[in-house]
Amino acid sequence: MENDRTKKDRKKSGIYVDFLMLLTVLVLIAIGMVMQYSIQAFRGSEAETGIIAALGIQFIATILGLAVMIAVAFVPIAMYKKVDWIWYLIGFLPLFLLFTPLAKTENGATRWLNLFGVSVQVAEISKIAMMFFYATFLCKIKLDNIKGFLIALFTPAPMFLGVLLISNNLSSAIIIYGICVVMLCIACPKKSYVFGLIAIIVLAFFGLLGGILLFLDPQDWQDDFRILRVFAWADPESYSSGKGYQVMQALYAIGSGGLFGKGIGKSIQKLEYMPEAENDMIFAVLCEELGAFGGFVVLVLFAFMIFRFLNVVNHAKDLYSALLATGIMAHFSIQVVLNIAVATNLIPNTGVSLPFISDGGSAMVFLLIEVGLMMAIAREGTKRKS
């Protein structure tokens, strides 16, 4: 182990790295690769674009993401603050490109851009651009009065509506607004505003679910998949041949895994029984093959990573850095909670991927960029402390 003097010298030289954070991320990526191999190995025998193509894209995206992460880790955070409102425009630009020939449609949804043969989900760009903009915005606006608080609260609304209406991506729109709400709660000095906002959100969420279940007839909403997902969440067995099919298969997978699982590659539900096994329901496959113990280990790894993120927030050199780190921490936290809650049927299906574990090249690159930003904030905060 390094002695204290060596650590201090390394910190002062500007090459400080949070190795615990980095190691946790790399372990999660490794677990994700193993799970993707397990799922795609079966499909590799069924089609030419099976395991080799799927893991090849994921592997290349991971290597690219790690390279960009290292580069971002040494860029001064103040550089991002200078462009200010341009980030808001950067967040919107990919959405409007969905109306061009660059747009790519998959499973009936147009949410991707085909850039030089690579699919990029536009919402990923909107998420990170909104974090940069909103961190700067919160540093400038006065939040100690109700007017400033409400302006800040509704500022993300255009981005939310853009992602929702243009890309028809409710889950990403909710994540974007959720990130901003967490950043606002951290920045606001009036805790009464914060507690009031949290209470309203909780009441609105349960009120909406309760209102749908109590006052709407599912027969009248057969064309609205989001409403049907709420009914399927409340009674998945009654919708086991429709909207409840996916979550029922996920619950079968989790239950059949037992304590230590069936073993890598031995999942039954992944054999085309469970839709989106490599994406939204990857946690269910993981629990089937590695058991409750494996699922618990993954949860501990995510919890530890988020704890390290929180440590970065607490030691950030200034408010802007702290808010940007808060946004990144909120992004990871929200996606982890939503994905696992859906897989275990704690909330209605939202179609959210599990960071570093689910399939998705563009998502992997942007997640690693955010880790690079965290490392940069940690480095600058540590240098200031030294």
Query: What's residue 385's pLDDT?
Result: 55
Q: How far is CA 325 from CA 307, 339, 381, in A?
A: 12, 21, 11
Helix (H, G, I), strand (E, B) or coil at 254: helix
pTM to 2 decimal places: 0.90
Sign of the Cα pseudo-torsion (33, 119, 110, 43, in order): negative
Residue 113 pLDDT greater than 90, yes or no: no
Distance separating alpha carbons of residues 212 and 229, to the nearest angstrom: 11
Helix (H) or strand (E) holding 379: helix 361-385
Average pLDDT of the chain is 86
Residue 1 pLDDT greater than 70, yes or no: no
pLDDT band at 47 (very low <50, low <70, confident <90, very high): very low
Query: What's residue 359's pLDDT?
Result: 84
pLDDT band at 208 (very low <50, low <70, confident <90, very high): very high
The phi, psi pair for 121, rounded to 5°, reads -80, 125
Count other Cβ atoms within 10 Å, centred on residue 196.
13
Q: Who wins on pLDDT, 376 or 13?
A: 376
Which of these ranges, 38-42, 61-65, 142-146, has the smallest mean pLDDT? Answer: 38-42
The fraction of the chain above a pLDDT of 70, given in percent, is: 90
pLDDT band at 15 (very low <50, low <70, confident <90, very high): low
Closest CA to 353 of 344, 340, 372: 340
Query: What's residue 44's pLDDT?
Result: 54
> What mean pLDDT do residues 289-307 have?
95
- What's the pLDDT tens digit per position in 321-368? 999 999 999 999 999 999 999 999 898 888 889 999 988 888 999 999
Distance separating alpha carbons of residues 14 and 197, to the nearest angstrom: 40
Query: What's residue 221's pLDDT?
Result: 84
Q: Who wins on pLDDT, 53 or 1?
A: 53
Which of these ranges, 47-51, 85-89, 112-116, 278-282, has the smallest mean pLDDT? Answer: 47-51
- What's the pLDDT tens digit per position in 137-196? 999 999 989 999 999 999 999 999 999 999 888 999 999 999 999 999 999 999 999 999
User: Which among 115-129, 157-171, 230-244 has the top mean pLDDT?
Assistant: 157-171
User: Which among 63-72, 106-115, 253-262 has the top mean pLDDT?
Assistant: 63-72
The fraction of the chain above a pLDDT of 90, given in percent, is: 51
